[in-house]
Amino acid sequence: MISAIRNFDLRMISIYLIAVFLSLTLHELAHGLVSYWMGDPTAKMSGRLSLNPFQHIDWVGTLCLLLFGFGWAKPVPVDPRYYKDPKFGMVWTAFAGPVMNFILAFVCILLFYLLVAFGGGFLATSVGSYLISLLSATASMSIGFGVFNLIPIPPLDGSRIFWAFLPDRDYFRVNNPPAWISFVFLIVIFSGLLDQPLNMMISTMFNWMESGALWLLTPLL
């Protein structure tokens, strides 16, 4: 992405922007929908049950996602007091975002291989080439966003998922940390310390999805 910006490659910039907007929007929408299904109207009242990406994006997090492959969106507001079980309501709400990212990625990979198999001359056109690149970029970006959000450090979704074994009071205290925790986490991200393990997990997840997609499409290929 950095090289695309330096060379002002409008085609690649547009592909990455669409991939980011899709990944962020569906991730946050999933949080809001699951919370709403469990009785919490907060996201709906805040206008966050929307496919409009501008309702969800955090510009700093979006820039990081474009440049480094890891970023964040504006958190969907939820109120766990509406849930029958506040702690596990938060767990399921948090889990919904990464799951949606992995679903989006898998669908993109399936469509990618369907186009490769049956696209024929269409793939040689500018539209076909653009669509193939968009599907590939969206799959990679969405997996990256989902994996990144599973890191068990607040305020990421993984913190709400992986600390569920704690007593309720400790669980909510861990997930409402002082501001300096987020600041330190940002420093760690930009230091590059997490790059290798995250890239390894993203690559592994992509390979699993690719194998699954090819297995499903075997009768058609």
pLDDT of residue 11 exceeding 90, the answer is no
Tell me the residue range of the domain where 184 lies.
2-217
pLDDT of residue 4 exceeding 80, the answer is no
User: 64-118: per-residue pLDDT in tens?
Assistant: 766 766 667 788 899 999 999 999 999 999 999 999 999 999 999 999 999 998 8
Active site residues: 28
Q: Cβ(93)–Cβ(35) under 8 Å?
A: yes
Q: How many domains does the chain have?
A: 1
